Amino acid sequence: MPARRQGNGNSESVDNYLKAILTLGGPKEQRVTSTALAERLEVAPASITNMLQKLAGAAEPLVEYERHRGVKLSGAGKRRALEVVRHHRLIETFLYQILDYPIEEVHDEAERLEHFISERFEERIAAKLGHPKIDPHGHFIPTMEGEMPEQASIRLAEVVEGGVFVVDSVDDRDASTLRAIEAHGIKAGVRVKVKARTAMEGYSVSIGKPAKALDLSREMAGDIRLVPFER
């Protein structure tokens, strides 16, 4: 990967835009609307438009932007976004495994640090951790070459029929929701039995033996990704 610039207010903002577009575009790299981006970043639509025009008009464009068709990352933008994601997830793993941070705190700490670490520091963290492929939340860590496997899982909120599943990953953007999910014992690698939808459009799941049913809100269900359990 190319050397990164030292972080400053402007580059941090650029990185956050690129990460948001990467996430919202999904594995198929679909175009992202300005409205979706504004909601994700909690930024005014006019500011979104100005930034996207700036990113598209750079000497090396970081996005492909058309006002009424949305935005997608350019090759350079995708490389940069994946690099920041790699920094973020390595830092989360380091904080959790080495410094014993509570899991609900690692995301916000990594958000502050991801823009500033050097490539040498990144390499030292990766080596110290044994070059991990997955972060504490179950998300893939991009490689040094900017490659990341597709997360082959579905959200609990998308489960149509009950059954036995394994938690693939848990969204880490909202610390309070993550804390509530973790309090139920739900984390990457845990086996859960999805029993039924509740009247409030939540989900009833059970974990372990003896199994105790837990009613999860639709918001929580949207933050939990599952894969079918293979016996």
Residues 88-117: pLDDT tens digits?
999 999 999 999 999 989 999 999 999 999
Q: Is 37 helix (H, G, I), strand (E, B) or coil?
A: helix
Instruction: Provide the CATH number for the domain around residue 186.
Output: 2.30.30.90
User: For the chain, how many helices (H) and strands (E)?
Assistant: 8, 8
How far apart, in whole angstroms, are the C-alpha atoms of residue 16 and residue 104?
Answer: 20
Backbone angles phi, psi at 168, to 5 degrees: -85, -45
Looking at the fold, whether 122 and 142 belong to one and the same domain comes out as yes
Q: Domain range holding 161? A: 154-228
Strand partners of residue 203: 197, 216
Query: Which pLDDT band holds residue 21 (cuts at 50, 70, 90)?
Result: very high
How many domains, in total, are found in the chain?
2
pLDDT 10s digits, 59-90: 999 999 998 899 999 999 999 999 999 999 99
Query: Which pLDDT band holds residue 2 (cuts at 50, 70, 90)?
Result: very low
Q: Do 101 and 109 meet the contact criterion of CB atoms below 8 Å apart?
A: yes
Q: Which residue among 149, 181, 215 closes a domain?
A: 149
Cis-peptide, bond into residue 149, ω within 30° of zero: no
pTM: 0.84
Q: Which residue among 126, 149, 172 closes a domain?
A: 149
Q: Which residue among 149, 174, 195 closes a domain?
A: 149
Q: Do 20 and 41 meet the contact criterion of CB atoms below 8 Å apart?
A: yes
